[in-house]
C-alpha cells in the first residue's frame, strides 16, 4: 500500500480532462470516481455509449486507475418511490462499472431522515428499516451479480450501518460475498469515543479487517463539535490506522476525501510520510 488516491469529486468541475490534469498535477493516479466529473449526474438514468467511450479513452490517456464508482443512494429512503428509482439508477451504475472496468460500486446504506441520507434518524434502529435495507440489498445484488462488481459498504454514524458490528451483521445477512468493506477510520467514531482511539480502531479492524476492498483517508476532529477534516488536520491516529490496514494485507490505494482541492498537497504529503516509514 503505497499509492495515494482521491475522490474525483474533490475537484469540483464537470470537465473530465481538466479533472485528470489536476489530479496528475497533484501526483495522483488512483480515484474513487464520480460521474459528475464527466459532466453527468452522479447517478444518471441514461448514458450514451459514446460518452462512456470518451471516459474510457481519457482515463487511459492520463493513466488513471478507477478504483471504485460512486453509487450512493438512500437504500432505506422513507419515500418508497425514491428508493425504487435509486435501485433502477444503481442498475445502470453497475453496467457502467462493468463497461469501464471498475471493480467496486459504493453504497450508502442510508437513513430514514427526510432531509438527508447523511443525517441520523431514530427510525434507523427499527426492524422495519432493517427490512427495507435487506429488500433493497436483494434487488441490487442481482445487478452486482449480472455485472460482476463488488458492492462496497462502510460504517457511517448517520446511517443504518453505523458500527462495525452492524456492518458484519449486514454482510452475514446478505448471504453474498459481493458485499465488502470500504474502511474509513474516521467513520468508526461516534461522539464521546475520542478517549478510546486505539480500542475503537483495533476493534473495527478485528471485526471487518478480513473483508476490506478499499480504504479511505479522512480525519476527524474532536475539538468542539465533532467534525470530519482533511487528513492530518484532526485527531485520528493515522499511524495506527495505516499499520492496521497493512496487517490485513490490504494492497490498494489510500483514497483521500473530506478535503478541498487546496488541501490536497499538504494531506498527501502527510500520508506519504506515514506510508513510507
Domain boundaries, the chain: 4-213
How many Cα atoms occupy the beta-carbon half-sphere of 151 within 13 Å? 32
CATH 3.20.20.150 fits 4-213, yes or no: yes
In angstroms, how far is CA 118 from the centroid of its own chain?
Answer: 13
Is 79 in a helix, a strand, or coil? coil
The answer to whether 251 and 212 are in contact (CB under 8 A) is no
pLDDT in tens, the chain (277 residues): 679 999 999 999 999 999 999 999 999 999 999 999 999 999 999 999 999 999 999 999 999 999 999 999 999 999 999 999 999 999 999 999 999 999 999 999 999 999 899 889 999 999 999 999 999 999 999 999 999 999 999 999 999 999 999 999 999 999 999 999 999 999 999 877 777 999 999 999 999 999 999 999 999 999 878 899 999 999 999 999 999 999 999 999 999 999 999 999 999 999 999 998 5
**Sequence-separated (6 or more) residues with CB below 8 Å from residue 32:** 5, 6, 7, 8, 67, 68, 69, 70, 106, 214, 255, 257
CA distance 110 to 112: 7
Query: The pTM is what?
Result: 0.95
| Grid coordinates of 262 | 487546496
Predicted local confidence at residue 277, as pLDDT: 53
Site of grid cell 469540483: 12
At 197 the pLDDT is: 93
Amino acid at each position: 500500500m503505497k499509492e495515494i488516491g482521491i475522490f474525483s469529486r474533490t475537484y469540483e468541475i464537470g470537465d473530465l480532462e481538466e479533472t485528470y490534469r489536476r489530479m496528475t498535477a497533484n501526483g495522483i493516479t488512483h480515484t474513487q470516481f464520480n460521474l459528475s466529473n464527466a459532466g453527468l449526474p452522479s447517478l444518471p438514468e441514461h448514458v450514451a455509449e459514446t460518452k462512456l467511450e470518451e471516459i474510457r479513452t481519457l482515463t487511459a490517456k492520463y493513466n488513471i486507475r478507477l478504483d471504485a464508482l460512486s453509487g450512493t443512494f438512500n437504500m432505506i429512503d422513507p419515500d418508497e418511490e425514491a428508493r425504487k428509482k435509486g435501485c433502477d439508477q444503481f442498475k445502470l451504475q453497475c453496467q457502467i462499472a462493468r463497461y469501464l472496468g471498475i471493480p467496486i460500486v459504493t453504497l450508502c446504506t442510508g437513513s430514514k431522515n427526510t432531509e438527508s441520507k447523511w443525517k441520523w434518524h431514530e427510525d434507523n434502529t427499527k426492524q422495519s428499516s432493517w427490512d427495507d435495507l435487506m429488500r433493497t440489498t436483494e434487488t441490487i445484488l442481482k445487478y452486482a451479480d449480472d455485472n460482476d462488481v463488488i458492492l462496497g459498504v462502510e460504517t457511517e454514524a448517520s446511517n443504518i450501518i453505523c458500527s462495525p458490528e452492524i456492518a458484519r451483521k449486514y454482510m452475514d445477512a446478505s448471504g453474498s460475498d459481493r458485499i465488502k468493506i470500504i474502511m474509513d477510520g474516521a467513520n468508526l467514531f461516534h461522539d464521546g469515543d475520542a478517549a478510546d482511539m486505539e480500542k475503537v480502531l483495533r476493534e473495527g479492524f478485528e471485526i471487518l479487517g478480513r473483508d476490506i476492498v478499499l480504504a479511505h483517508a479522512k480525519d476527524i476532529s474532536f475539538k468542539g463539535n465533532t467534525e470530519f477534516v482533511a487528513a492530518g488536520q484532526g485527531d485520528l491516529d493515522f499511524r495506527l490506522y495505516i499499520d492496521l490496514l497493512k496487517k490485513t494485507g490490504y494492497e490498494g490505494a489510500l483514497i483521500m476525501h473530506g478535503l478541498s482541492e487546496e488541501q490536497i498537497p499538504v494531506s498527501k504529503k502527510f500520508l506519504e510520510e506515514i506510508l513510507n516509514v
